[in-house]
Amino acid sequence: MHVIAHLSWGDETVVNLPWPMVSGGILATIVLLGVFFVWRMLKEIRSGFPLRDERTQMVMGRAATYTFYIGSYFMIALMLANILSTEFLGAQLLDGWYAMVLSILVQSLAFSGLHFYFDRKGDFE
C-alpha cells in the first residue's frame, strides 16, 4: 500500500495515511464545496437580487489586486531571504513546504483584511 501522508515527530510516527484514504478525502471535499457553491448561487438567483452589485465588485477587485502585489512581493522577499541564507549561512532559511504555507497564509490574511477594510472604508473615488 502506498503511503502519501507521513508525519513524524522525532522518532514517533504521528500520521500515516494510505493514498486511497487521502484521495477519497480530497474528492469528497471538492464535491462538497462544489455542491455548496452551486446551492448558494441558485439561492441568490432565486431571491431576485443581483449576485454582486457594482460596489461589491469594486471592493473585491481592489482587495484582490492589492493582495496580488502583497503576495508577489512577499514571495520575492522570501526567495531572497532563502538565497542569502544559503549563501552566507550555508543552510536554507525555510523548506519549500513552509514557504508555500507561509505564502498562502499571507495572501489569505491579506485578502481578508483588505476586503474588510475596503468594505468598511466606503468611498473609492
User: Would the pLDDT of 2 be above 70?
Assistant: no
Q: CA nearest 64: which of 17, 108, 24?
A: 108
Local structure of 2: helix, strand or coil: coil
User: Taking residues 38-57, what's their average pLDDT?
Assistant: 82
Burial code (b: 16+ CB inside 10 Å, e: under 16) for 44-80 equals eeeeeeeeeeeeeeebbebbeebbeebbeebbeebee
Residue with cell 500500500: 1
Average pLDDT over residues 110-115: 95
Q: Is the pLDDT of residue 5 over 80?
A: no
pLDDT at 108 over 60: yes
- Return mean pLDDT, the chain: 84
Structure pTM?
A: 0.63
Alpha-carbon gap, residue 50 to 47, rounded angstroms = 9
